[in-house]
Amino acid sequence: MCGIIGIVTGKPVATGLISSLKLLEYRGYDSAGIATLQNGTVWRERAAGKLSNLEKKIRVNGLGDGGIGIGHTRWATHGAPNETNAHPHIIGDVVIVHNGIIENYQELRGELLKNGAKISSDTDTEVIGHLIQNQLKINDNVETAIQAAIGMLRGAFALAIMIKGNEELLIGARKGCPLAVGIGDVEGHYIGSDALALSPFSRQIVYLEEGDFVFATKNTFKVYNESGELVEREINIIEQQSAVMDKGNHKHYMAKEFFEQPDVISHTLANYIDMDTNQINIDSKLDITKFNRIIMVSCGTAYYAAMVGKYWLEKTTHMSVEVDVASEFRYRNPPLNEKCLFIVVSQSGETADSLAALRLAKEKGCTTVAVVNVPTSTMSREADFILPTSAGTEVCVASTKAFICQITVLAALSIGFGKSLNILSADDASKMTMDLASLPRLINDSFSVEKEIIKLAHNIAKVEHVLFLGRHTSFPIAMEGALKLKEITYIHAEGYAAGELKHGPIALIDEKMPLIIIAPDNDTYEKTRSNIEEIAARGGDIMVFTTQKRAEEIRALGLKAIALPDSSDFLSPFVYTIPVQLLAYHTAVHMGTDVDQPRNLAKSVTVE
């Protein structure tokens, strides 16, 4: 969720860069910088901290006059939030800003160093600049060189680039992180993270699609797709006042928000992972060795996030982990004391039942932790420790990106606690941390099933009841899938542990009852497969979400399956969240319900 702005007009752009970055402050950041290009010379200013620090430096040192420039607000992922690591970076002829995480940057960095590259920062961004510089040395065609360099990257990213010697050319690229192009009313083109960044300059917005590159001058722009083919993208007219809450190229906020998930996961991971050492950073004062029990309390979607976290925390801490619905917790006189670590999970940080549970835990002497998306919320102020989810503003009532950021935080917490207790070895903790760093790309890859999900959604829209089944961490994802479907389609849906099938739900199965079965290829797969065969024998209408290998096996039985990207068992809850979100969304769209504001629901429940 860092901010990018790029401007090419032929007239001085520095002031416009600063104005746009101010509009992007809402995304959160810890350093900022701008650069302009003029007569083969780069003028650049960077500063740690707030934009006001950057503006002070500019007042002292003067303003560049270049007619092309790029700017950035950075949320540190690789390297400390200092001026050296702040963007833009200058590498030879390349000036670059970047959002996202490059997973293979260590490998690329090592190869560059071996070949004599001089790397001055700790960022993954500088590595991209070196790759581009190397390609420019062997390829006179800038467009081809840029595409070749970016093709070496693995991860999720949005980029804005300038090249010395091509001082009328502004370049952008995206994969997994949003980027848009603004068309000037008279002349000039702009690149920004969202319509809000572009709103001072343009009402005509082109949203780049996955894998797109854009090459813009003050008079023209060209968009190429991931295959290098010249393409046309739709021009959207955005009123300035609506840019604040722009849906991008999506019909609903819900769609925009779940397609933001690779980006917001990157932002969230930056709070907890040192990408250089693959270490989890949790406040050292939150000492898990002081406790013998963990209690997690939440409501709705956040409750299912806590349930996923329970599996991880019990495995990495060997402690009893209780998960309770906040509205029930304080009415059952729970035994609490100073040996209990109490964790409340909430998007808003204002949910009445969860807040009451937090206050009860504090009264009983528990150490309290808030996993929360709003740092200024009541829970953030009252808890002993805050673990921010950094999902950004979530407009749609049905939570998507906040949920996946909640489980991201709980996954990081599980690794950190396991390492502190010596239950996870240093190697195991490092491997799990590297897994987490791959999440933005993996989530982005999971969107590839959308077309298949749309077909399934058209069938689901015709029914009155749906069952979701899963085992282990897939069980709470099944419940979350059922909740999403009922929230925005008003179809009755239930999520069950697959092992509970024979204890009642199997009585409901007939050819009219759709079953969505979440079956990643893990230790519980064979048990889940037995459930699938039991359902098939009774004529159930089955759709299995699983891996490519297992999908082929399921289809060989004459059943339906959708294949998700392969992932570790640890990451499977993230991957399998995507299809259940997409299914609810596309079913609701097909039925014509109010996706963003479903009936009877509110975003934050502040009364009991």
Which tokens hold the place of 109?
Answer: 């960095």
Lay out the sheet containing 560-564: strands in order across.
492-497, 465-470, 514-518, 541-547, 560-564
Pick the catalytic residue: 2, 340, 366, 405?
Answer: 2
Torsion of CA 388, 586, 197, 3, to 10 degrees: 40
- 341 CB-contact burial (10 Å; exposed 0-12 / middle 13-18 / buried 19+): buried
Pick the catalytic residue: 57, 315, 364, 603?
Answer: 603
Separation between Cα atoms, residue 202 and residue 217, nearest integer Å: 15
Give backbone dihedrals phi and psi of 288, rounded to 5 degrees, phi first: -65, -20
Give backbone dihedrals phi and psi of 164, rounded to 5 degrees, phi first: -60, 140
Separation between Cα atoms, residue 582 and residue 454, nearest integer Å: 8
User: What radius of gyration, in Å, describes the C-alpha atoms of the chain?
Assistant: 25
Task: Identify the residue whose tokens are 């797109």.
Answer: 212
Q: Are 416 and 530 in contact (CB under 8 A)?
A: no
Please report which residue ranges of 94-252 form alpha helices under DSSP H.
Answer: 105-114, 124-138, 142-150, 195-198
Separation between Cα atoms, residue 371 and residue 385, nearest integer Å: 9
Task: Identify the residue whose tokens are 């490998």.
Answer: 107
All residues at 6 or more sequence positions from 20 whose CB lies less than 8 Å from its CB, including other chains: 3, 5, 7, 71, 192, 197, 198, 200, 201
205, 177, 170: which is closest to 3 by C-alpha? 177
2: annotated active-site residue: yes
Please report which residue ranges of 461-513 form alpha helices under DSSP H.
Answer: 474-489
- In 3-state terms, what secondary structure has residue 409? helix
Give backbone dihedrals phi and psi of 255, rounded to 5 degrees, phi first: -65, -45
Torsion of CA 397, 402, 407, 410, to 10 degrees: -120
Specify the long-range contacts of residues 114-119, CB closer than 8 Å, at least 24 apart.
Answer: none
All residues at 6 or more sequence positions from 332 whose CB lies less than 8 Å from its CB, including other chains: none
Separation between Cα atoms, residue 133 and residue 146, nearest integer Å: 9
Separation between Cα atoms, residue 321 and residue 239, nearest integer Å: 50
Q: Are 368 and 359 in contact (CB under 8 A)?
A: no
155, 347, 154: which is closest to 263 by C-alpha? 155
- In 3-state terms, what secondary structure has residue 415? helix
Catalytic residues, which ones? 2, 603
